[in-house]
Amino acid sequence: MEKINEAFAKVKSHQAVERMKMLVGMEVSDEESAAVNASTDESSFSFMDDFNRNCTLSTKQRIEGFAICFIAGLTCTFLSMLVFFNPIKFGITFTFGNLLAIGSTAFLIGPKRQVTMMLDPVRIYATAVYLASMIIALFCALYVHNKLLTLLALILEFGALTWYSLSYIPFARSMVSRVLVSCFDTEF
């Protein structure tokens, strides 16, 4: 009986590893994918199965694409600090850097899954505010040419990015909310 339990545990752990490989876009052989599909709900992984079979990027290429895009985004974001006192140039480079950094994860999990995660009910409002603040910042920088409005939009963009990023960390939003409420609580 003990050997059966060990074999069962091995199969379960192997299936879990294969599911994780599929979720991050790693290549899974057809036999492994069939074994995973037999043990999981077909509808939950059907898109990922099709995507992984039809994807032309190898795991190494995905990681390289992620690294290049993420480093380019961070570089743009840090270079924007050089032109901080010119809010128009700052707004353009900061927003472009954020777009590159956020888009870099599409190399790892795929663009469809990225959009699905961004539109998840937990982070839909943060995503909407973040995207709206990016559009407002670019509009103020490129068309209105108002430094104060661009700076206000960038502050809103940074706050929305922070709130959006916290949505991926369990309990981070509630912890930050409690800390902020306790810091700004005026009742004695």
Q: Is the pLDDT of residue 76 over 90?
A: yes
Percentage of residues of the chain with pLDDT beyond 90: 15
Residue 50 sits in the same domain as residue 64: no
Q: Is the pTM of this model over 0.85?
A: no
Residue 78 sits in the same domain as residue 122: yes
Residue 99 sits in the same domain as residue 36: no
Residue 128 sits in the same domain as residue 173: yes
Give me the domain span that covers residue 162.
59-184
Report the C-alpha gap between 12 and 5 in whole angstroms: 10
What would the pLDDT profile of 50-66 be if each residue is shown by its tens digit?
655 666 778 888 899 99
Residue 16 sits in the same domain as residue 43: yes
Q: Kindly compute the dihedral angle of the four CA atoms of residues 137, 142, 144, 146, in this order, to the nearest 10 degrees.
A: 70
Contacts of 167 (CB under 8 A, 6+ apart): 122, 123, 126, 173
What would the pLDDT profile of 117-171 be if each residue is shown by its tens digit?
899 998 899 899 999 999 998 898 888 888 888 889 888 988 888 888 888 888 8
Report the C-alpha gap between 75 and 169 in whole angstroms: 24
Residue 105 sits in the same domain as residue 132: yes
Exposure letters 68-101 (e unless 16+ CB within 10 A, then b) = ebbebbeebbeebeeeeeebbbbbbbbbbbbbbb
Mean per-residue pLDDT of the chain? 78
Residue 158 sits in the same domain as residue 99: yes
- How many domains is the chain built from? 2
Residue 13 sits in the same domain as residue 28: yes
Structure tokens at 101: 């950094």
51 and 110 Cβ atoms separated by less than 8 Å: yes
Residue 164 sits in the same domain as residue 99: yes
Q: Which amino acid is at 13?
A: S
